[in-house]
Amino acid sequence: MLDIKFVRENPEIVKENIRKKYQEAKLVLVDEVIKLDEEIRDLKTRGDELRAKRNATSKEIGGYMQKKEVEKAEEAKLLVKEINDELENIENKERELSEVFKEKMMVIPQIMDATVPIGKDDNENVELEKFGEPVVPEYEVPYHVDIMESFDGIDLDSARKTSGNGFYYLKGDIARLHSAIISYARDFMIDKGFTYCIPPYMIRSNVVTGVMSFSEMEDMMYKIEGEDLYLIGTSEHSMIGKFINTISSEADMPQTLTSYSPCFRKEVGAHGIEERGVYRIHQFEKQEMVVVCKPEDSPYWYEQLWNNTVDFFRSLDIPVRTLECCSGDLADLKVKSLDVEAWSPRQKKYFEVGSCSNLGDAQARRLNIKLKGKEENYLAHTLNNTVVAPPRMLIAFLENLLQEDGSVRIPQPLQMYMGGKDKIVPKNK
């Protein structure tokens, strides 16, 4: 959510930002919120005048009563009642307009960083750099579910019976590999100096609307029926929410946190849920990075975060590339965003395995996350990035480390989490 003062003083900048995101339907919101803001401020001014008048009149009542000027006291009481009635109407109107104002403000997109490439959708995202040599082996690389089934490592049919499409049972070496990757990711980030956290897996609605847009909320979040609680779609939601309504010391910045959680997502939209596969699913686990910092430090941390993911994947011998999100593909709360994509030897192309985002002060403004400055308090900046999210990451791992005999090589950093194994061998061929 933008600062209304900035919107008032720079309406054309806000509108141009909307145009660059190809969201022309939102242009009218700029003039609407400016008008609403003016009306709300006028109501506040009138309310302040009435309260001052009421206070003065109330004092007069006491004086009239002391002088036994009953008629004047009754007239003054009647005036106070009229003032209270008008104040009630004003306060009701102010609340009503403030709700409308907030709803409109929350869908006006954050001002993008000047370096964000302009484009309509994800087809116009810009490749930045490749890390590692993408290889297509001479032997066939099967579909990832077929690889998992060769290890008797996945059961989608049973999951459909218990839960429906978008769920899975992982078993044996594949389940162990899944857990090993998460454990390695945890220790990898601890070694980078991040504090390890396990957050709540449910959050209240005010936190949900603080960390994401309404459209994302509708498409992603599962609500707990009868309670003001939502299942998290990523631990970022809980981790940023941890700082709600806080004023932190500059000396305590940055807060660099890495968090584990299961994630739950409706996955509503064009992509849909796969009938057979674990690329897009309702439930998965993830190791996340979250940073809360001073505004001037957020560009630095943005670079550090995506580099951490690249380093993690390269340590497991998986080729990756970075792709900068263009304006039309940039979520409304984000200032700048970059996807990390892993190489798929089977598809002979890259696919997304993580996303790094600088949200500027957008989440901090919604959640009232401030830093204590020398002269006045100010809003922090927040950032997040995926370390790893199996089982999607398992697709990249299995495809890139599959050997011609059907075994899967285990890179050295992962071997200690796999009981010392340097490979896993299929049970079914």
Compute the distance between CA of residue 167 and CA of residue 160 in angstroms, rounded to an integer: 7
Which pLDDT belongs to residue 270?
47
Cβ contact 393:353 at 8 Å = yes
Which pLDDT belongs to residue 386?
95
Half-sphere exposure of 418 (CA within 13 A, CB side): 21
The pair of structure tokens assigned to 412 is: 């050295």
Give the residue carrying structure tokens 């192309």: 349
**Domains parsed from the chain with CATH numbers:** 4-105 (1.10.287.40), 122-424 (3.30.930.10)
Q: Walk along the chain (429 residues) and give the pLDDT tens digit of each residue.
A: 899 999 999 999 999 999 999 999 999 999 999 999 999 999 999 999 999 999 999 889 888 888 888 888 888 999 999 999 999 999 999 999 999 999 999 999 999 999 999 999 999 999 999 999 999 999 999 999 999 999 999 999 999 999 988 899 999 999 999 999 999 999 999 999 999 999 999 999 999 999 987 677 777 899 999 999 999 999 999 999 999 999 999 999 999 999 999 999 987 554 555 557 888 889 999 999 999 999 999 999 999 999 999 999 999 999 999 999 999 999 999 999 999 999 999 999 999 999 999 999 999 999 999 999 988 999 999 999 999 998 889 999 999 999 999 999 999 999 999 999 999 999 876
Q: What is the pTM of this model?
A: 0.90
| 58 class by beta-carbon count within 10 Å (0-12 exposed, 13-18 middle, 19+ buried) | middle
Q: Beta strands 369-372 and 246-249: pairing type?
A: parallel
| 284 class by beta-carbon count within 10 Å (0-12 exposed, 13-18 middle, 19+ buried) | buried
Q: N- to C-terminal Cα distance for the chain? A: 54
Which pLDDT belongs to residue 271?
56
